[in-house]
C-alpha cells in the first residue's frame, strides 16, 4: 500500500464478546489473519494480553472490569480513527460499558461469541472454571458474576454448532455491511 491508500483506509472496531472459552480469541485471530492477507491495516487486542499489559493491576470487580473495557475501547477507537481495523476479543460482561464503547463513534461490529457454559467449561485449558467452581476464584464471569449477553449484536457466532470458518465468514460479512469490508 502506498501512503495515499493508507490515508484512505477505513478503520473501525470489531468487538468480540462472550464467556471465557466461547471462542473469541480463535475467531479474532482468524479474522485478523484474513484481513492481514488482504493487506488491511489491522490490530488484535486480546483480553489476556491486555490484562498483562495495558490493564495490569486491575482486579475483577465490576469497576475494574468496566475500566478494562473502557481502556480497550479507547485504544480501539484511536486505532480506528487512524484507518486501522481494531479487533477486540474481551469478555466485556456488561451491556452498558459495551454500549459506551460503541458510542465512541467508530464503525462498530459487535460479535456475540456464544457457547453454552458447559461447552466453555469443557474447553477450559487453564482450569479457570474448575477453580471458580471450587471457590478458588471469586467473581468469575458465568459462575458467580453475571454475563449480560448483547441485546442486538451485529453477529452471533454459535461456536458449539459452527466451524471457525463459518464464524469468520459471518464476521467478514457484517464488516462489509457496515463499510469495513
* Residues identified as active-site: 92
C-alpha grid cell, residue 24: 473469541
The residues that bridge with 20 in the sheet, in sequence order, are none
Contacts of 146 by beta carbon, 8 Å cutoff, 6+ apart: 93, 94
Gap between the Cα atoms of 91 and 142, Å rounded: 10
Q: What is the DSSP letter of 9?
A: P
First to last CA, the chain: 17
Amino acid at each position: 500500500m502506498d501512503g495515499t491508500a493508507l490515508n484512505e483506509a477505513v478503520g473501525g472496531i470489531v468487538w468480540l464478546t462472550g464467556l471465557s472459552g466461547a471462542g473469541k480469541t480463535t475467531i479474532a485471530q482468524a479474522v485478523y489473519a484474513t484481513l492481514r492477507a488482504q493487506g488491511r491495516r489491522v490490530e488484535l487486542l486480546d483480553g489476556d494480553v491486555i490484562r498483562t499489559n495495558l490493564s495490569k493491576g486491575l482486579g475483577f470487580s465490576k469497576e475494574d472490569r468496566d475500566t478494562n473495557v473502557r481502556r480497550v475501547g479507547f485504544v480501539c477507537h484511536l486505532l480506528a480513527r487512524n484507518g486501522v481495523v481494531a479487533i477486540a476479543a474481551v469478555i466485556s460482561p456488561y451491556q452498558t460499558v459495551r454500549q459506551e464503547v460503541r458510542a465512541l463513534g467508530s464503525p462498530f461490529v459487535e460479535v456475540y461469541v456464544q457457547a453454552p457454559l458447559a461447552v466453555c467449561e469443557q474447553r477450559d485449558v487453564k482450569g479457570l472454571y474448575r477453580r471458580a467452581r471450587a471457590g478458588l476464584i471469586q467473581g468469575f464471569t458465568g459462575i458467580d458474576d453475571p454475563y449480560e449477553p448483547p441485546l442486538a449484536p451485529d453477529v452471533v457466532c454459535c461456536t458449539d454448532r459452527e466451524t471457525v470458518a463459518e464464524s469468520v465468514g459471518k464476521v467478514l460479512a457484517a464488516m462489509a455491511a457496515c463499510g469495513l469490508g
